[in-house]
Protein backbone atom coordinates (compact mmCIF):
# COMPACT_ATOMS: atom_id res chain seq x y z
CA UNK A 1 0.00 0.00 0.00
CA UNK A 2 1.49 3.36 -0.97
CA UNK A 3 1.95 6.00 1.70
CA UNK A 4 0.86 9.60 1.31
CA UNK A 5 2.80 12.72 2.24
CA UNK A 6 0.78 15.89 2.78
CA UNK A 7 2.55 19.03 1.54
CA UNK A 8 0.80 21.96 3.22
CA UNK A 9 1.31 25.57 2.22
CA UNK A 10 0.12 28.58 4.17
CA UNK A 11 -0.98 32.13 3.34
CA UNK A 12 0.05 33.84 0.11
CA UNK A 13 1.85 30.80 -1.29
CA UNK A 14 -0.90 30.51 -3.92
CA UNK A 15 0.92 33.49 -5.46
CA UNK A 16 4.21 31.62 -5.65
CA UNK A 17 5.93 32.50 -8.93
CA UNK A 18 4.23 35.89 -9.11
CA UNK A 19 4.80 37.28 -5.62
CA UNK A 20 8.18 38.90 -4.86
CA UNK A 21 10.08 36.66 -7.33
CA UNK A 22 13.35 38.23 -6.18
CA UNK A 23 12.76 36.45 -2.86
CA UNK A 24 10.65 33.41 -3.76
CA UNK A 25 11.66 32.75 -7.38
CA UNK A 26 9.57 32.09 -10.49
CA UNK A 27 8.45 28.51 -9.91
CA UNK A 28 4.80 27.99 -8.99
CA UNK A 29 3.17 25.59 -6.55
CA UNK A 30 2.34 23.36 -9.54
CA UNK A 31 6.07 23.16 -10.30
CA UNK A 32 6.72 22.29 -6.63
CA UNK A 33 4.10 19.54 -6.80
CA UNK A 34 5.65 18.05 -9.96
CA UNK A 35 9.14 18.10 -8.38
CA UNK A 36 7.85 16.44 -5.20
CA UNK A 37 5.87 13.81 -7.12
CA UNK A 38 9.03 12.89 -9.05
CA UNK A 39 10.88 12.27 -5.77
CA UNK A 40 7.83 10.48 -4.35
CA UNK A 41 7.91 8.08 -7.31
CA UNK A 42 11.48 7.11 -6.39
CA UNK A 43 10.35 6.12 -2.91
CA UNK A 44 6.85 4.86 -3.64
CA UNK A 45 5.29 7.83 -1.82
CA UNK A 46 2.12 9.60 -2.92
CA UNK A 47 1.96 13.39 -2.68
CA UNK A 48 -1.08 15.46 -1.77
CA UNK A 49 -0.25 19.16 -1.96
CA UNK A 50 -2.65 21.70 -0.47
CA UNK A 51 -2.59 25.46 0.06
CA UNK A 52 -4.79 27.79 2.05
CA UNK A 53 -4.74 31.39 3.17
CA UNK A 54 -6.81 30.38 6.21
CA UNK A 55 -5.24 29.22 9.46
CA UNK A 56 -8.23 27.03 10.41
CA UNK A 57 -8.08 25.21 7.09
CA UNK A 58 -4.41 24.37 7.68
CA UNK A 59 -5.34 23.08 11.16
CA UNK A 60 -8.14 20.93 9.64
CA UNK A 61 -5.80 19.42 7.05
CA UNK A 62 -3.26 18.57 9.77
CA UNK A 63 -6.07 16.79 11.65
CA UNK A 64 -6.98 14.93 8.45
CA UNK A 65 -3.33 13.93 8.08
CA UNK A 66 -3.58 12.02 11.38
CA UNK A 67 -5.54 9.35 9.47
CA UNK A 68 -4.49 9.96 5.90
CA UNK A 69 -0.77 10.82 5.84
CA UNK A 70 2.47 9.09 6.77
CA UNK A 71 4.28 12.44 7.02
CA UNK A 72 3.77 16.18 6.65
CA UNK A 73 5.92 18.69 4.80
CA UNK A 74 4.72 22.16 5.72
CA UNK A 75 5.56 25.68 4.69
CA UNK A 76 3.32 27.53 7.14
CA UNK A 77 4.48 30.85 5.62
CA UNK A 78 3.61 33.76 7.95
CA UNK A 79 1.74 31.36 10.27
CA UNK A 80 5.17 29.97 11.27
CA UNK A 81 5.79 33.18 13.15
CA UNK A 82 2.36 33.58 14.73
CA UNK A 83 0.38 30.38 15.03
CA UNK A 84 0.24 28.37 18.23
CA UNK A 85 -2.88 26.72 16.71
CA UNK A 86 -0.85 25.25 13.84
CA UNK A 87 1.86 24.18 16.30
CA UNK A 88 -0.73 22.46 18.52
CA UNK A 89 -2.21 20.66 15.52
CA UNK A 90 1.24 19.45 14.43
CA UNK A 91 1.86 18.24 17.98
CA UNK A 92 -1.22 16.01 17.55
CA UNK A 93 0.30 14.37 14.46
CA UNK A 94 2.48 11.35 15.11
CA UNK A 95 4.53 10.99 11.91
CA UNK A 96 7.51 13.00 10.74
CA UNK A 97 7.04 16.73 10.16
CA UNK A 98 9.46 18.68 7.99
CA UNK A 99 9.25 22.47 7.73
CA UNK A 100 10.27 24.28 4.56
CA UNK A 101 10.93 27.96 3.98
CA UNK A 102 11.79 29.00 0.47
CA UNK A 103 13.75 32.02 1.69
CA UNK A 104 16.36 32.06 4.43
CA UNK A 105 14.16 33.42 7.22
CA UNK A 106 17.26 33.99 9.39
CA UNK A 107 18.66 36.46 6.88
CA UNK A 108 15.43 38.50 6.84
CA UNK A 109 13.50 40.70 9.30
CA UNK A 110 13.85 39.76 12.98
CA UNK A 111 10.14 38.83 13.23
CA UNK A 112 10.79 35.97 10.79
CA UNK A 113 13.61 34.49 12.86
CA UNK A 114 11.30 32.69 15.28
CA UNK A 115 9.05 29.88 14.10
CA UNK A 116 6.50 28.31 16.47
CA UNK A 117 6.11 25.36 14.12
CA UNK A 118 9.85 24.61 14.27
CA UNK A 119 9.26 23.54 17.88
CA UNK A 120 7.55 20.46 16.40
CA UNK A 121 9.43 20.00 13.14
CA UNK A 122 11.84 17.08 12.91
CA UNK A 123 13.83 19.06 10.36
CA UNK A 124 13.80 22.56 8.87
CA UNK A 125 15.01 23.67 5.44
CA UNK A 126 15.33 27.40 4.77
CA UNK A 127 16.87 29.35 1.95
CA UNK A 128 17.13 26.57 -0.66
CA UNK A 129 14.44 28.13 -2.84
CA UNK A 130 11.64 25.83 -3.97
CA UNK A 131 14.20 23.01 -4.17
CA UNK A 132 13.72 22.78 -0.41
CA UNK A 133 10.43 20.94 -0.94
CA UNK A 134 12.01 18.20 -3.07
CA UNK A 135 14.86 17.90 -0.56
CA UNK A 136 12.31 17.51 2.22
CA UNK A 137 10.57 14.79 0.15
CA UNK A 138 13.89 12.96 -0.18
CA UNK A 139 14.36 13.15 3.59
CA UNK A 140 10.78 11.91 4.04
CA UNK A 141 11.73 8.95 1.86
CA UNK A 142 14.61 8.01 4.14
CA UNK A 143 12.55 8.57 7.30
CA UNK A 144 9.51 6.57 6.17
CA UNK A 145 10.58 4.04 3.57
CA UNK A 146 13.84 2.74 5.06
C1 LIG B 1 8.21 31.83 3.94
C2 LIG B 1 8.87 32.84 4.88
C3 LIG B 1 7.83 33.53 5.74
O4 LIG B 1 8.47 34.45 6.63
C5 LIG B 1 6.86 34.29 4.87
O6 LIG B 1 5.85 34.86 5.66
C7 LIG B 1 6.29 33.47 3.78
C8 LIG B 1 7.11 32.46 3.11
C9 LIG B 1 9.21 31.19 2.98
O10 LIG B 1 8.84 30.20 2.35
O11 LIG B 1 10.33 31.68 2.81
O12 LIG B 1 5.16 33.69 3.36
O13 LIG B 1 7.66 30.78 4.73
Instruction: Name residues contacting ligand 1 (CB within 6 A).
Output: 12, 75, 77-78, 80, 101-103, 105, 112
Average pLDDT, the chain: 97
Q: What is the pLDDT of residues 35-55, one digit of tens each?
A: 999 999 999 999 999 999 999
**Is the per-residue pLDDT at 10 higher than 70?**
yes
Whose alpha carbon is nearest atom 9 of ligand 1? 101
How confident is the model at residue 133, as a pLDDT? 98
Protein residue whose Cα sits closest to atom 6 of ligand 1: 78
Q: Is the whole model's pTM more than 0.95, yes or no?
A: yes
Q: Which atom of ligand 1 is nearest to the CA of 10?
A: 12
Q: Which atom of ligand 1 is nearest to the CA of 103?
A: 11
Domain 4-144 has CATH 3.30.590.20: no
Query: What percentage of the chain reaches a pLDDT higher than 90?
Result: 97
Report the catalytic residues. 24, 101
Burial letters 61-70, b for 16+ CB under 10 A, else e: bbeebeeebb
Q: Where are the domains of the chain?
A: 4-144
Residues 116 and 109: beta-carbon distance below 8 Å: no
- For 58-95, how does the pLDDT look when each residue is reduced to its tens digit (9 = 90+)? 999 999 999 999 999 999 999 999 999 999 999 999 99
Amino acid sequence: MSKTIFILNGPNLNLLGKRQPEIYGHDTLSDVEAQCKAVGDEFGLEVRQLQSNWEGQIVDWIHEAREAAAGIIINPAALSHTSIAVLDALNAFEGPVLEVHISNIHKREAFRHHSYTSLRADGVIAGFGVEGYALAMRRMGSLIVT
